[in-house]
Structure 1
Amino acid sequence: MASTLLALLATAAAVSAQGGANQAPATNCAALKAPTVGNATVVSLQAATRNAVPVRATNGTRLTVSLCDVNVTLTHGNTRDRVRVQVWLPLGEGSDGAASASAWNGRFQATGGSGFQAGLFDAALGPAVADGYAAASTDAGVGTMGSFPVQANTTSALTQQLFTNFASLSVHEMAVVGKALVEQLYGKPAAHSYFTGCSTGGRQGYMEAQRYPADFDGILAASPAINWDRLLAAMLWPFSALQQQFPLQPDGSGTEVPPCVLDAFQGGVVSACDALDGVTDGIVTQPGACKFDPTTLVGKAVACSSAQGGGGGGGGGQRGQNGSATSVTITNAHAAVFSKILAGPASPDGKALWYGLLPGASPTTLASTTQNGTAPFSLAATWLNNFVLALNDPRSNFSSFGASMPAARNRLAKKSADTTAVANVQAYTNIFQQSQSLFDVQIGTDNPDLRAFQAAGGKLLSWHGLADQLVFPNGTLDYLQRTIDLLDANAVDSFYRVFVAPGVQHCGGGPGAAPSDPLASLVQWVENNKAPDTLPARKAAAAASNSTVAANSTSAAITRNLCRYPQMMVYGGSGDGSQADNWKCVAGPNQQVIAQKTASQTTPLLAVSSGVSNAVSLKAGVAFVILVQVLSAVL
C-alpha cells in the first residue's frame, strides 16, 4: 500500500512538473509562449536567437554555438518578487531561430548556484549547451549577487517569498519552465532531465530529490551544502576556536594564529598520514585513519612573511622589517586551536554539535586571520549577522555588508554583537542551536526519506572532495548513512551513490584528482542502467608549490578511479602511483571517514540526527527575520 501511494505521488508530481506541456509546439525561437508555472505568474517572456556564442564544453574544448536565449520573469501572488529564469535552447549553426534536431541531444539540464546565488547563468549554461543540452538557470529573485532587500516588517511577504525561492522553490519552477519551453520549441519533451550543481548547487539537487522527486531523472550533486543551518553555523567554529584561545581586546586587537602556523599544522598532517594509502604523493587518502598529534610541532619555528608574523599574547611571533621574513614559534595554544578546528563544534559538556574539517583540508579559509584580529569566513559571518542575529540585534541588519567587505571585516574584528556571539563555547552553542531551530525546516535539506524519489525512478549521484575546506564531507556521509538507516544499504545503492575524492578541495582543486565527467556516468546510470562503481578522475600536471603544505605534492598529471563510499582507495603495491590502474577500491569500515571525535565527545557524531524530528516541531510557525543583502561567496 505504501509503495503504491509513493508511486502515485511521484506520478502526480511528474504531471505537475510538465507545466506547459499541453501547449502547441512552436518551431521558431521567436514564437515561444509563456508556460504555466504552478502558483507563479509569468510577468514576461523574451526570446532571441543568438549565433556564434562562445562557450567551453565539459572536456575543455572552446567552440561557438547558436541558441535560443529565453528569459522568463516570474512573480508570486502580491509579494512583488521578480524571479529570472534563463533557458538556452541549442539551434543549428547560423540559425534563424528554427529548431534543429541535430543541435539538441534530446536532454534537459537544469543548473545550480553558489553561495547565496541560486544560479550561475552563463558559466553553467555554456558547458551544458556546448554538450548539446537544453539548459536553464535561475536567480530565485535574489539576483546574481544574492541580494535580499531590507524590509521594515520582519514578516514581510516579499522577504519570506525570496527565502522560500532560494531555499526550495526556484529550482522546481526552473524545471517546469525549462521543460515546457523545450517541448514548445522542439515539438517533443526532453527524453531525460538532469540537474547539476556543486555546493549550494549540490544542496539544491538534494532539495529537489526530497521535495520534488519527479522533476529530474538524474541529479548530480557535488560537495552538497546540505544540513545548511548546521553547516553555516559550523563554519563559524574555527573563528570561535581562535577567540576561545586568543580573546580579542575591546579595541579589536588580539593575537591571531598566523596562516603560516596553520599551514605548518596541515603540512604535519600530510607528512604523518600521506603514506597510509601506500604512496607518498601529498594526498591524504584515508583521513579517517589519520592520527596526527598537533603538539608534536610545539616549539618548532615556522618561517612566515612579515604580514603573517603575529606577536605577543602567546603568538610567539618576531616581525620582520620592510617585508622581510619572520619566524613564529608554534605554541601549545596554537596546537589547541588546530585540534579544535579538526574536532568540530562541541557544546560546553563536550558533546559534538557537528563535524569539523578532515585531516588534510586547509584550515586557513574558515580560520582566516588578519594582522589585527580574526576575520571570519564571509559567508558564515553573513549568516550569523544577517540571518541568525537579525532576530535579536537590529544593529546587525546593515545592507552594505556585501558592498563594503572591508568595513564589515573591521566591524567583525571588534567586540560587537556579532563577535561576542561566538566568543566562548556556551555562546557559540547558543548560536548553533538557534540557527538550527529557526532555519532547518526552510533550508536544512536534511530529510533522509528519499522513497518518493526512488519510486519515481530517479538517480542521485554525489561526490565530495575529502580535502574540502568549506563544506565538511562528513555531513554528506552522515546524510547517506541516515538514508541507509531509513531504508537499507541495497535499496539505497540502487538509486543513490556517494563517491569520495581524496585530496580534492571544495568543488575541485587541491592535489587530488577530481571527477573528469561525472555527468556522463550519471547519464549511463539513468539511460542504460549502468550504475557506476567508480568515477574516473584526473588532475592535470601543475608546477609544484613552494608552500609547506605542498612540499610532498605531486606535480605530475594523475588519474584515479574514485571509490564509492564506504570503500576506500589503496595502492596496489606496484606500478606508477600516479595512474588509476595501479589503485583499487577495498571494503573499509562503514564509518572510516566519519570516525572523527575526540575523547571528550561522549556522543557519537552520527547521533546528532536523532534530534531532527524534535527540531522540526520547534521550528513550526516561526516568523521569518529581516534579511539584507548577503555576500555571494564560494560555497
Structure 2
Amino acid sequence: MRSLILSAGLLALAGSAQARDAAECEALHNTALQGGFVSSARVVEASESLPAYCEVRATALPAISIEVRLPMENWNGKYYQAGCGGFCGILGRADAAAGWVNAMKPGLERGYATATSDSGHHALSVVDAGWADANPHAERDWGWRSIGETHRVAQAMIERFYGGGSEQAIFQGCSTGGRMAHVAALRYPDMFDGIISGAPAMDYPGLVATASSWLVQSNTDADGNTILKPGKDKLIGDAVMAQCDGLDGAEDGLISDPRQCPADLAALQCDGTQAEDTCLTPDELGVIAKWRQGPVNKAGEQLYPGGIPAGSEPFWWLWLTGKDENSGGLIPAFATGFGRYMAFDDDPGENWTPLDFDFDRDPDRMSFAYANYNGDNPDISAFREAGGKMIVWHGWADAIVPPLKTVDWYEKAAETAGGEDALKEDVALFMIPGLDHCGLLPGPGGVSQNSLDPMTPLEAWLNDGVRPESIAVSQ
C-alpha cells in the first residue's frame, strides 16, 4: 500500500536480522524531527514474551506524546500501531495491564516495531476530559491527527534505527481505539495494510453524548435520585438467560444474538409480598425498557442504533449501575466529561450534567465533534482500493458501546461496496456472544479478550490471502 523506495526496503529487510546495541538505541535521542522532538531513548531488557527493545519517547507538536518500541534484534521488517481507550491521556496505559487490547504487546512479541500515543494530552484518568475545555487543537489531535503523527514519528525512528522503512503496517484498537481504527481507514487509507477494530465507538456524539445521556436520564427520578441501584443485575440477568439461552438450540449460558431475545421481565414485578431484592418495581422495569430501546426524540425517531443488549447484565455493575458508591458505573462519568468539554461546539463547562441533554435540540449542536471525532462513514472504498484488509469484532454483550451500531455500519458498508460479497473481500466482521466491552471482564464460560486472537488471521489474510473464518484463540 505505502510506496517505498526499493533500495530502502531491501536495506531495512537486510538490517532487520542484525542485532542493535545500546549505543545505537541511545543515539536516537539526537534525531531531529520536523514538528517534534525525541525526549528519551533507552534499552528495555527482554521479559516474559517480549524481546529486548529500544524504547523511544517523543513528542509531536503541539502535545502528542508517543512511545515507539523497536526490537533490538530479529525485527520482522513490519510496523504495528495501537490505539487507546476512553478519552486516552495516559501513554502506554494498555501495556501496563495484562491484556492485548490497545497494547503494543501483540506486535512486539511477534517482532514488529510498535508505537502508540496518548492522543495529544495528559490526563489523570481515561474519563478526564478537562483537557479539551475550549481547546479545539487538542480535540483535533484526539479525534484524528494523533493517528497520523504517531505513524510519522515511528517511521522516522524505524528508518534511523534499522536503515530503512517498514514494509507493512497494522493498526489495532478497541473502543476509542476502534474508533481510531475506522478513522485511520477513512483519513489515512494508504497508511495501514491491515486494521483490527474492536467494539468501535465510531460515533462519539451519538454514543457518549446522546445515548449515554439517555441512559442516565432514564435512571434518574424527578428528584434526581437513581432508580435502578446496584445489586439487581443478577436477578435481571438470570431471568433474561432463562428465557433466551436456548433460542439458538444450545443451552450454554450464551445469547447468540440479543436481537432474537424478547425477554419479558413482567413476572419480576413486585406485588408487595416479596423481599425488595427479589423483585423489580414498576419504575425499575421502566428504566430497563428505556435502556433496551435506546435514545429517541419527541417524534419517536431513533437517535442511535439500538440500546443495551440482552445478555449484558453481568457487566452492568462496571458500566451502568456500579457495585457501590466507589466502583463501577462508568457511563455517567464518560457522559459528564464528554458533554462538559468535548461534545458541543460551545463547551457548557463544569456545571453541565447528562440530565441537561436535550434530545430534540442537542444532536444538532455537535458539528465539530461529528466532523473531527467520527469514523462511522461506511464508505471505506479508498482503503479497500489500496488493498487494505480489516477485521471488525464486537461483543454481543457490550453495555457501553451497544453492538447494533457496528452491525448497522457493516450493513451500510456492504451496501456502499455493492453487496456483502464485495465487502467480504476486504472486511471480516465477528460478533461474539457473551463478550463484554473489549472483553475486559470475563463472561459466560470465561469468554474475554484472552479468548480472541485477531492478529494471527489478519497476518494470514495479508501475507497468504486467506480470509479469516474465526478470531478465536487456537486450541
TM-score normalised to structure 1 length: 0.63
- The correspondence for 2:311, drawn from 360, 363, 367, is 360
Amino acid at match of 1:84: S
Measure the CA separation in 1 of the matches of 2:238 and 2:250: 16
SS in 2 for 1:163: helix
Measure the CA separation in 2 of the matches of 1:336 and 1:74: 49
- What displacement does 1:433 show? 4.2
Are residue 381 (structure 1) and residue 336 (structure 2) matched? Answer: yes
Q: Which of 1 and 2 has greater Rg?
A: 1
Measure the CA separation in 2 of the matches of 1:524 and 1:479: 25
1:399-444 Cα deviation digits (max 9, x unpaired): xxxxxxxxxxxxxxxxxx425414xxxx344334434x44111102
Is contact 2:397–2:435 with CA below 8 Å preserved after alignment? Answer: yes
C-alpha spacing 1:302/1:525, structure 2 compared with 1 (3 Å)? farther
The size of the alignment, in residue pairs, is: 439
Are residue 260 (structure 1) and residue 231 (structure 2) matched? Answer: yes
Measure the CA separation in 2 of the matches of 1:301 and 1:271: 24
Measure the CA separation in 2 of the matches of 1:126 and 1:160: 32
Is contact 1:342–1:358 with CA below 8 Å preserved after alignment? Answer: yes
Are residue 186 (structure 1) and residue 119 (structure 2) matched? Answer: no
Is contact 2:65–2:121 with CA below 8 Å preserved after alignment? Answer: no
Measure the CA separation in 1 of the matches of 2:355 and 2:183: 33
Aligned position for 2:120 = 141
Please, which runs of 5 or more residues in structure 1 have no aligned partner? 1-10, 55-61, 76-80, 92-99, 304-315, 318-326, 397-416, 539-558, 560-635
Is contact 1:261–1:302 with CA below 8 Å preserved after alignment? Answer: no
Amino acid at match of 1:66: A
- What displacement does 1:200 show? 1.0
Amino acid at match of 1:42: G
- The correspondence for 1:238, drawn from 197, 215, 218, is 215
- The correspondence for 1:343, drawn from 273, 276, 293, is 293
Are residue 173 (structure 1) and residue 149 (structure 2) matched? Answer: yes
Aligned position for 1:120 = 92
Amino acid at match of 2:65: R
Is contact 2:319–2:400 with CA below 8 Å preserved after alignment? Answer: yes
Measure the CA separation in 2 of the matches of 1:255 and 1:143: 32
- What displacement does 1:379 show? 1.1
Is contact 2:309–2:397 with CA below 8 Å preserved after alignment? Answer: yes
Are residue 82 (structure 1) and residue 27 (structure 2) matched? Answer: no
1:241-272 Cα deviation digits (max 9, x unpaired): 112xx2225xxxx3522233343222211111
Aligned position for 1:67 = 53
Measure the CA separation in 2 of the matches of 1:219 and 1:257: 39
1:254-295 Cα deviation digits (max 9, x unpaired): 352223334322221111100112222221112111111122
Aligned position for 1:589 = none
Amino acid at match of 2:54: C
TM-score normalised to structure 2 length: 0.83
Matching of residues 46-445 of structure 1 within 5 Å: 46-52=40-46, 54=47, 62-63=48-49, 65-75=51-61, 81-91=62-72, 100=73, 103-117=74-88, 120=92, 122-123=95-96, 124-143=103-122, 145=124, 154=134, 159-233=135-209, 234-243=211-220, 246-249=221-224, 254=225, 256-299=227-270, 317=276, 327=277, 329-354=279-304, 355-362=306-313, 363-368=316-321, 377-388=332-343, 391=346, 393-396=348-351, 417-418=352-353, 420-422=355-357, 427-435=358-366, 437-445=367-375
- What displacement does 1:395 show? 4.6
Measure the CA separation in 1 of the matches of 2:54 and 2:284: 56
1:54-111 Cα deviation digits (max 9, x unpaired): 3xxxxxxx34531111112221xxxxx22221111111xxxxxxxx3xx222221111
Amino acid at match of 1:218: G
- What displacement does 1:516 show? 2.7
Measure the CA separation in 1 of the matches of 2:347 and 2:43: 50
- What displacement does 1:522 show? 0.5
Amino acid at match of 2:70: L
- What displacement does 1:130 show? 2.3
Whichever structure has more helix as a proportion of its residues is 2
Is contact 1:239–1:375 with CA below 8 Å preserved after alignment? Answer: no
Measure the CA separation in 2 of the matches of 1:169 and 1:215: 13
Are residue 510 (structure 1) and residue 443 (structure 2) matched? Answer: yes
Please, which runs of 5 or more residues in structure 2 have no aligned partner? 97-102
Amino acid at match of 1:452: A
Aligned position for 2:38 = 44
C-alpha spacing 1:301/1:497, structure 2 compared with 1 (3 Å)? farther
- The correspondence for 1:495, drawn from 410, 426, 435, is 426
- State the identity %: 26
Is contact 1:265–1:338 with CA below 8 Å preserved after alignment? Answer: no
Is contact 1:104–1:132 with CA below 8 Å preserved after alignment? Answer: yes
Whichever structure has more strand as a proportion of its residues is 1
1:109-157 Cα deviation digits (max 9, x unpaired): 11110101165353423443222221101112212646666699x4xxx
C-alpha spacing 1:302/1:239, structure 2 compared with 1 (3 Å)? farther
Is contact 1:301–1:330 with CA below 8 Å preserved after alignment? Answer: no
Alignment RMSD: 3.0
- What displacement does 1:492 show? 1.0
Is contact 2:78–2:168 with CA below 8 Å preserved after alignment? Answer: yes
1:430-479 Cα deviation digits (max 9, x unpaired): 334434x4411110211111111011111010110100121111111111
Is contact 2:68–2:115 with CA below 8 Å preserved after alignment? Answer: yes
SS in 1 for 2:104: helix
Aligned position for 1:4 = none
Is contact 2:122–2:131 with CA below 8 Å preserved after alignment? Answer: no
Is contact 2:76–2:112 with CA below 8 Å preserved after alignment? Answer: yes
SS in 2 for 1:210: helix
Aligned position for 1:29 = 25
Are residue 449 (structure 1) and residue 425 (structure 2) matched? Answer: no
